[in-house]
């Protein structure tokens, strides 16, 4: 049983807010650019479809051993949502492992937002009983690799569905 739940995380410029269903409408606009899916599956969802997805995400994993932690990224300066980060936390042979991911809407990219959010997320996870963090990144996705590096992860020689597994041991 994994009882870890998302909490508000503060960084210099950002507030990572635990996902709520009411975020769907604003997030549908934030995530509306099809280019966001160059390296990740899916297509942009409209507000209603996103609302249904968020209802399922907020309800949590049907597997009690797994925790779904999701945040939207709020940029102080513009008082708006700009993307999301997530951590799927579950058991492994070596204790709890968190698989993390990040997405920043196209208008807000290249301003260090994903880097700052990922660092905040990793620091938060380091304060939980999580033993290691992983991420899966397409080998051609240099921006995401830069985010992972800045958050302290390093690439492994393991592959998963055409992506490289990155790893950080929290000791
Ligand atoms: C990957 C992503 C989250 C990066 O968001 P971001 O807020 O623009 O990232 P940052 O501004 O923190 O930049 C991180 C690094 O990537 C580089 N970078 C950002 N966008 C880039 C681009 N389009 N091309 C090349 N490099 C880029 C930055 O220069 C920076 O590198 P540096 O640390 O060496 O200076 C964003 O591009 C995105 O959401 N992409 C679509 C979703 C996705 O693929 N998510 C990753 C799943 S693993």
Residue 143 lies in a domain: yes
- The confidence score (pLDDT) of residue 76 equals 97
From ligand 1's centre to the CA of 164, what distance in Å? 16
Helix (H, G, I), strand (E, B) or coil at 99: strand
Residue 112 lies in a domain: yes
Residue 99, domain extent: 9-169
62-65: long-range contacts (C-beta < 8 A, 24 or more apart)?
A: 63/90, 64/1, 64/2, 65/1, 65/2, 65/90, 65/91
Q: How many CB atoms lie within 10 A of CB 85?
A: 26
Residue 4 lies in a domain: no
CATH number at residue 37: 3.40.630.30
In order along its 171 residues, the chain shows pLDDT tens digits of 678 999 999 999 999 999 999 999 999 999 999 999 999 999 999 999 999 999 999 999 999 999 999 999 999 999 999 999 999 999 999 899 999 999 999 999 999 999 999 999 999 999 999 999 999 999 999 999 999 999 999 999 999 999 999 999 997
For residue 117, give the ligand 1 atom closest to its CA: 12
Residues 71 and 6 sit within 8 Å (Cβ to Cβ)? yes
Residue 1 lies in a domain: no
Residue 85 lies in a domain: yes
Close Cβ partners of 114 (under 8 Å, ≥ 6 residues apart): 83, 102, 103, 104, 143, 144, 147
Close Cβ partners of 170 (under 8 Å, ≥ 6 residues apart): 125, 126, 130, 131, 132, 133
Residue 2 lies in a domain: no
Residues 98 and 125 sit within 8 Å (Cβ to Cβ)? yes
How far apart (Å, rounded) are the C-alpha atoms in residues 3 and 13?
Answer: 28
Residue 159 lies in a domain: yes
Name the domain count of the chain. 1
Tokens of 158: 């393991």
Tell me which of 32, 110, 134, 167 to substitute to probe ligand 1's pocket, judged by most ligand atoms within 8 Å of the beta carbon.
110
Against a cut of 0.85, is the pTM above it? yes
């Amino acid at each position: 049983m994994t009882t870890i739940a998302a909490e508000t995380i503060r960084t210099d410029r950002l507030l990572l807010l635990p996902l709520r269903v009411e975020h769907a409408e604003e997030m549908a606009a934030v995530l509306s650019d099809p280019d966001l899916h160059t390296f990740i599956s899916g297509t942009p969802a409209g507000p209603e479809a996103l609302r249904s997805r968020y209802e399922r995400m907020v309800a949590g994993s049907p597997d009690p051993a797994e925790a779904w932690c999701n945040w939207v990224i709020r940029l102080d300066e513009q008082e708006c949502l700009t993307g999301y980060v997530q951590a799927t936390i579950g058991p492994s042979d070596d204790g709890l492992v968190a698989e993390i991911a990040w997405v920043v809407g196209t208008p807000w990219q290249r301003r260090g937002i994903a880097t700052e959010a990922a660092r905040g997320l990793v620091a938060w996870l380091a304060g939980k009983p999580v033993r290691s963090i992983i991420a899966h990144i397409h080998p051609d996705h240099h921006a995401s690799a830069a985010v992972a590096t800045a958050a302290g992860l390093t690439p492994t020689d393991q592959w998963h569905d055409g992506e490289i597994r990155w790893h950080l041991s929290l000791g």
